[in-house]
Structures are given as structure tokens and as C-alpha cells.
Amino acid sequence: MSCTEWKEYKLDEVYEVSNGLSKKREEFGFGYEFLAFTDVFNNYFVPQTLDNLVNSSEMERVKCSIKRGDVFLTRTSEKLDELGRSCVALKDYPNATFNGFTKRLRPIGNVEILPEYAGYYFRSLKFRNAVTSMSSMTTRASLNNDMISLLTITVPTLEEQENIANILSCLDEKIELNNEMNKTLEEMAQCIFKRWFVDFEFPNEDGQPYKSSGGEMLDSELGMIPKGWEVQCIGDIGNVITGKTPSAKVEGSYGDECNFITPRDITDSPIILNTERKLSSIGINNLKKNLVCKNSIGVSCIGSNLGEVYITGENSITNQQINTVVLDESHIYPYVYIYLKNMKNEFLNMAGGSAVPIINKTSFSEINILMPDMYILNKFVQSTTCYFERIEENLKENESLIALRDSLFPKLMSGEIDINL
């Protein structure tokens, strides 16, 4: 069938729209699997496993269930271009529920729509433009059921849907392979770190494990540590910079010249190469005191993302929720990154039980960090830098693959590329 003969349906003709689950903060962190806003925002397809938990009732789990073919759309955001981000379920998730800041579109069953195809369609520029053109914007962008009913989906034959999904999924499989490789590489660096700096079994001058070979240990603020090592503060090993958001009074602050990192940009990846929003030369000039260089270590120090750690892959500016240590010795970034990443619980304890947990610049600068002697530290850096360099290479390749994937979809839909070959 020619693409000109494909059928187009309004979403309310083929999907039933439902609202998600809203609960108090204290109901999260235990219970049953929960599809969070960020899960929907960041993924074409619902992740295989859901890391977030919520204390949901049996009735809530029935009403807000997740089944194969369900489409989830973000229904509210601070910006129009972040509204209506989609995520499609490729399997059933028993007992899982989805969050109240998204809409669920469940197939009625009258038209056969392959979930694998839907995942790419709802992320396409065609659909995204349709969402932003009819969404309402007051203090926040919003998407209601009436608006959703006016949106459409183009439905090829089932065979053509499969062909489109297969072509694009080949690229996604390579992206996922790179992501899995990156996880393995970071785990390898973590294993060496634990062996050397937690168990203190780094190689001594004879190549033997230090502690179990009788290496001398001395007491410190952090407990027993090898002789010659020091306990310093984060502020002793670099310059701590708290980020800042461009003033709303200054027009033209946003552009495409410099990464502007917010907690939303922090993912499982250890390195941030790209951000949702970027600053223009105007924004950079107004915030030049907040500029941090490549291979600095950023830590989210407020709110639900508190304690999340990353490495800056490019010169960047962050918002005020992030403290960044610009290292005096930039090459030691693998050590400092892993050390701070392993301090997540300590960060949470420092923030206390306030309604909005926070670690200010002063408190962050005073956090203790164990600094090995330079010989051992340099040996660790030499052993692990190659892992992080490969992670960065994989991330750059993924950016190219994502751009290729997103450019292919409209060509497949327009007939420019024959999908029946």
C-alpha cells in the first residue's frame, strides 16, 4: 500500500485516555513498581524494569495499570516543547502504575497499531509539532483530553508498521549495546576503586595487596587509612562553583553555544555531553563566573535528585541546584567522580529531614574526601581513564545514531525510503 493510502485516525477513535496516580511524597520509595515522569520523558519505550516504587492499593493498580500497547504522554511541563513526550509499553507490567503527570492512551482494539511502531510515531517531529501547536500555555504548559482528541496517528498496514519499526529498532539496538557497554566499563572502574580505596588492597611497592600484606594503617576522621594518605575537604582539591539560572529580565540567554545543565539532564550515564537547553553567547557572558570546564564533577544538591553525580563532558554552566568542583588536577576526575558517587547516602543524611533537602555551597565544600598518595592515585587514574574515554566515545556515537534514527522516520513515512524492500 502506498503511504498516500495510509489511514489517519483521531487519537480518541483508537485510544481510551486515562489519568495517572497521584500520591503524597511519603507514599513513594516502597511498595509496587511505578512509571515515573522521567521514565516517560526520557524513553521511547517503557524500561524493562521500573526502579521507582509507590505504595499503591489494589484498586489503584487496576485503574492505573500498564499493558502492552499503552502510550504515555506527559501532560504538563514548564515549557511547550517538553509537553506530550511519549513512552510506549512493549509488555505488560503486573502491579505497576503510572504517574499523575502523564496521560495513558490505551488501545481500544478496533485498529491494529503495533506498539513498536507507535513508539517511533509519537516521538516523531510530525506528532511533536502537532502537540505544541494546540497545547495551552499559562504559567505551565498543559495537555488535556480535548486537545488529545484532536491529535491524530497515521496507521500503515501491519506489515509496513513492522518494517518501519524493524529499520529503526536496529539503530536502537546499537544504542542500547553502547549503553550496556558503558555500564560494564563503569562497573570495572568501580571494582578497581573498591579494591584499592575501600578494601585498601592496592598494590604495594612489591606488587602485593597493601592491607593484607601488613601495610601500615593510621586512624583518621574517616577511620583507618593507609600511612601517607590524607583526609581533605572537597574545597581543598578544587574550586566549588554553584550554578545559576539566566535572569528572566535578560532576553536571548538561551541558544546553542554552551550546555546548561539542570538535574533533569542527569541520567545513569557518568558523563553529560549534551543538555536539553543550551545558552547563547549572551547567556554565557552574563554567567561567565559560573562556567565550569570539561572533566569537572557536578553534584545535584537539592530536591529529589540530591546526591546524583556526573562528569562534565564539555565546558558547561549549571543551574543553582548543582554544585560543581572544578578540580585543581583535572586528570584525577575518575577518582573524584567514583568517590562522590559512592557518597549518595552521606549526601542524603547531610541534607537532613527538611521538606526540601539541600546541601549549600559551604557545606558541600567542607565534605571530607580521602586523598591517596599521588603515586597510587596516578596509577588508578592511568588504569581507569581509558574506561571513561571509551564511555565518552560511545555516547558520541549514540548521539549520531539518534540523529540518524530521528531523520529516517519522516523519510520512511513520506515514501522517500521504500519500506517494502
DSSP codes of every residue in 333-357 = HHHHHHHHHTTHHHHHHHHTT-SS-
pLDDT of residue 136: 59
Measure the CA–CA gap between 119 and 134, rounded to whole angstroms.
21
pLDDT of residue 349: 87
pLDDT of residue 100: 93
CB within 8 Å of 155: residues ≥ 6 apart:
6, 7, 8, 9, 14, 111, 113, 161
Condensed to tens digits (0 to 9), the pLDDT of residues 325-364 reads 999 999 999 999 999 999 998 998 887 656 678 899 999 9
Structural domains of the chain in order of their starting residue, each with its CATH number: 3-156 (3.90.220.20), 157-212+373-421 (1.10.287), 230-371 (3.90.220.20)
pLDDT of residue 3: 67
pLDDT of residue 176: 94
Q: Which residues pair with 107 in a beta bridge?
A: 15
Residue 310 exposed, middle or buried by CB count within 10 Å (0-12, 13-18, 19+):
buried
Residues of the chain with pLDDT under 70: 1-4, 135-140, 352-355, 421
